[in-house]
Amino acid sequence: MRIVGLILVLLAVWLLLSGIYTPLIIGFGIASCILVALIVRRMDVLDHEGLPIQLGLGIIPYWGWLFIEIFKANIDVAKCILFPKKYLQPSLFSCKITQKSDLGKVIYANSITLTPGTVTVDLHEDTVLVHALTKLAADGVKSGDMDQRVTDVMGEA
């Protein structure tokens, strides 16, 4: 099941990157995709983390939401850099996370880091250590909104 998904993803990426659509070249493309899939299968590295198709399409609205958050956070950080006296309030705090799987934790920790103004300094068991640039950014993480959304995407109650 997952190997079919891998072949389809590889083919889609190959077709989008190649741009030369003659039978010979497409044939080479299909052959190399299948070869890669066979090697990956033999290496046994294809698991729920390597190709997380179990997340389904639910991740796409999350990315949209995350992008809007990134946009807002960028404005916040830009303001903080331009007027550090008014906004700069760095803080280091730890937060409980509700994801069970490693993949969910990594998605959450990376989402925190990707949002400017908050950086994951440490991820251990079920706590993240977060460094935040402003009070607004710190409150955003503490509110647990992003944590809840990642847990929903992962399908872990």
Partner 1 sequence: MDLLLDIGTWILLLAACIFLLITGLGMLRLPDLYTRIHAGGMADTLATFLVCLGLALQSGLTLTTIKLLFIVAFVFFTSPTSTYALAQASFVAGLKPKLDGFNKTAQNKEEDDGKVPD
Q: List residues near partner 1 by CB under 8 A.
A: 13, 16-17, 19, 70-71, 74, 77-78, 80-82, 84, 88-94, 109-111, 113-123, 129, 131, 133, 135, 142
Give min distance, CB of 74 to partner 1, in A.
4
Q: CB 23 → partner 1: shortest distance, Å?
A: 19
53-58: list long-range contacts, CB under 8 Å, 24+ apart.
53/2, 53/5, 54/155, 55/153, 55/154, 58/152, 58/153, 58/155
CB of 41 or CB of 126, closer to partner 1: 126
What phi-psi label fits residue 125: left (phi over 0), alpha (psi between -120 and 50 degrees) or beta? left
Q: What is the DSSP letter of 121?
A: E
d(CA 139, CA 38): 47
Nearer to partner 1 among residue 2 and residue 142 (C-beta): 142
Q: For partner 1, which is the closer residue by CB, 25 or 38?
A: 25
Residue 38 CB, nearest approach to partner 1 (Å): 25
Nearer to partner 1, 86 or 157 (CB): 86
Residue 68, amino acid: I
